[in-house]
Amino acid sequence: MSCFRVSSGDLQIGDLTFSVRKQLPALSTRRKPHAWLVSASFDLLFICGLLPWILGFGAYIITGGDLNNPIASQSQHLATIFFVVSSLIIGEAHQFTSIIRYYGAFRSRTKAYRKQRIPFWIIYAFFLMLVPIAMILQSSWISGIVLFIFQIGVILFPVVLMQHFCAQAISIGLMYCRKEGYNLSRSERMSLSAIAWLLVGIGACTIAVPFGIARGPLSGVTNSCLLATGALSVLIFAAHVLRRGFVSNEWLPAGAGIMWANLAMFILLPLPAPLILYVWLFVPVFFHATQHWAVAWITQQNELVPQRNFAPNHRRLFGDICRLALPVQLINLLVLFSPLIVAQFRPDWSQILGGTGTLSVFWSMLVFYIHYFADRIVWRPKT
Amino acid sequence: MTIRKPFANNAKGPLPRLFAALAIVLISIFVVQITSAYAFQLNSVELRLGIHNERSDFQPPKVALSHNFLGRLAESVSQDRARLLWSAYPASVRGQVFSSMVGGNDPLMNGGW
């Protein structure tokens, strides 16, 4: 009876022995998993926050640093058109990636996410029940509830925006850590979370003050103490990470390190370093929104590759970009400029949505809040 | 019977391409419209779009967008850094462009929107 036995690269079948060439590479020569989310250059520019520095420097050069010059040159015109159009196409559209996913692919999941969807039910109830009832019944206490909820949403809007901004950067940094197998201990995670909330608090007192408060609520000295505390916390965490690198040879992934450093600088520097305002003009679009687009792209690719059983190639790349971007852009522009469309049929209804041809601040905030709550669940892995 | 969604992975036939072409045309119209609108002045935008045709009290905006938009935005933000995040927020930029209110003022307080 013949038997099969493989040892030391030889295949033995019965009395015959064949030399077998090893097909699998040695473990030590295997390629390390891709450390970046998209690619090194894309991540450094669009996710980690280097592009806002470059564009901010460019804007400073183009405007000549003379803010009082009222007449724009041709280069200033072009820079502004670039700024405005990218704000619309990249910045505002990023909100609809998560909204479309929430009302689309996310619905096919088996997990219900009931707790996380409670805010949606509150929003639905607000618009479908409370507002119509308050308008029909002219009830003062129902109107009071509507007004109260609306005011809370409006007043806290900048703070929620700041929390969203920080939380996204921290989460994507953790994605880098997971990709490179850099495990954060429980205390490290708690420290990171505490620093993130401290940054949110500092932001809420300095550059994202709630609406209705004319200026920052704290005095100059208190603000300086807050900034010093924030900077000290960030430096202590950075020192710990470096120490871990030197002692255990476990280095924080470059993407996470650069991004978290930029996040801290974007929040801590505007008060002591006024020139960072030029950089800040590009932060929402080329730091926050591009991060979001990158996550949407990676999620789409991760879901498509198992279905296709092969990696995407250049031919499919364009199709995939269109599949991701076109529906988002279409809905983005249709929603944001819905007052223009509605005005063609019912000018009075158009005034409700916004008086200048685009959505008013109220409806824009609603879009943001839906995006904010959807964003917390829709990018989670299926398993 | 299976119903193919326009952007389903296995969708074939003319419908996905037709939908994509339609989307590209619509987006292009929007982008060209907005870009060209900005390149001139806001009052001409509003007149061409016909938003204020019914308004007899309509006055052309005082701040023409041909002025130094980025400079004015940075100047306003530097005067009130408490609004830095909101002022650079894309929805705020859109509102400032379309309402001709350049700067980081609180839109709810000053009626910029």
- Rounded to an integer, what is the distance from CA A155 to the centroid of its chain? 22
Structure tokens at A373: 């709550």
* Cβ–Cβ under 8 Å, residues A183 and A177: yes
Can you tell me the distance from the alpha carbon of A305 to that of B89, in angstroms, rounded to the nearest whole number? 34
Cross-chain residue pair A206–B75, CB shorter than 8 Å: no
Nearest-CA distance from A50 to chain B in Å? Answer: 17
Q: Flag if A215 and B93 touch (Cβ within 8 Å).
A: no
Total Cβ atoms within 10 A of residue A327? 19
Least CB–CB distance from A337: residue in B30, B50, B69: B30
Better-predicted residue by pLDDT, A197 or A71 = A197
DSSP classification of residue A214: S
- Please indicate whether residue A194 or residue A155 has the higher confidence score (pLDDT): A194
Check residue B37 and give its pLDDT.
Answer: 56
Report the amino acid identity of residue A144: G
pLDDT in tens, A10-62: 545 455 444 444 444 444 444 455 788 888 999 999 999 999 999 999 888 87
Distance from CA of B45 to the nearest CA of A (A): 10
Q: Do A72 and B54 touch (CB under 8 A)?
A: no
Tens of pLDDT along chain B (113 residues) come to: 444 444 444 445 566 677 777 777 777 776 766 666 555 444 333 333 333 333 444 443 444 444 567 777 777 777 778 878 888 888 888 877 776 544 444 444 333 33
Strand partners, A16: A13
Collapsed DSSP state (helix, strand, coil) of residue A153: helix
Could you tell me which residue, A60 or A220, shows the higher pLDDT?
A60
The CA dihedral of B83, B86, B87, B88, to the nearest 10 degrees, is: 130
Tell me the per-residue pLDDT of A169-207, one tens digit each, with 9 for 90 and over: 999 999 999 999 999 999 999 999 999 999 999 999 888
Min distance B86 CA to chain A CA atoms (Å): 7
**Mean confidence (pLDDT) of chain A:** 81
Closest CB to B98 among A85, A277, A357: A357
CA distance A243 to A203: 28
Compute the distance between CA of residue A167 and CA of residue B111 in angstroms, rounded to an integer.
Answer: 31
pLDDT for the residue A287: 95
Nearest CA in chain A to B35: A81
Instruction: Report in angstroms the alpha-carbon separations of A240 from A226, A260, B19.
Output: 21, 14, 53
**Per-residue pLDDT, A150:** 80
Q: Which parts of A156-309 fold into alpha helices (H)?
A: 157-179, 186-206, 220-248, 254-268, 276-280, 283, 290-308
Q: Please tell me the least confidently modeled range out of A8-22, A211-225, A238-252, B58-72.
A: A8-22
Q: Tell me the shortest Cα–Cα distance from B3 to chain A, in angstroms.
A: 15
What is the structure's pLDDT at A356? Answer: 63
Interface test with B, best of A55, A66, A67, A321 (most B CBs within 10 A): A67
Encode pLDDT of A102-125 as tens digits: 988 887 777 778 888 888 888 888
Residue of B nearest to A67 (CA): B71
> Torsion-angle region of residue A124: left (phi > 0), alpha (psi -120 to 50) or beta?
alpha
DSSP conformation class of B65: T
In angstroms, what is the C-alpha Rg of chain B?
Answer: 20
- CB-nearest partner of A357 from B51, B66, B91: B51
Residue B70 distance to chain A (closest CA, Å): 6
Structure tokens at A323: 């599949």
DSSP string, A82-116: HHHHHIIIIIITHHHHHHHHHHTGGGG-S---TGG
CB contact under 8 A, B27 and A323: no
Containing B108, the helix (H) or strand (E) segment is: helix B107-110
Chain segment A305-354, per-residue pLDDT in tens: 766 655 556 667 888 888 889 989 999 988 888 887 887 777 777 677 76
| Percent of chain A at pLDDT exceeding 70 | 80
Tell me, what's the pLDDT at A200? 94
What is the phi/psi pair of residue B106, to 5°?
-70, 115
Residue in chain A lying closest to B111 (CA)? A361
Measured between beta carbons, the chain B residues lying within 8 angstroms of A212 are 108-109
| Separation between Cα atoms, residue A61 and residue A172, nearest integer Å | 31
Cβ within 8 Å, pair A213-B99: no
Return d(Cα B107, Cα B113) in angstroms, integer.
6
Residue A171 near residue A294 (C-beta atoms within 8 A): no
Contact A230, A264 (CB under 8 A): yes
A–B: how many Cβ contacts below 8 A? Answer: 185
What is the pLDDT at residue A310? Answer: 59
- Closest partner residue to B85 (CB to CB) among A208, A289, A360 is A208
Residues of A in contact with B94 (CB under 8 A): 84, 87-88, 92, 336, 358
The pLDDT of residue A240 is 94
- Can you give the pLDDT at residue A67? 54
Q: Return the amino acid letter for B80.
A: D
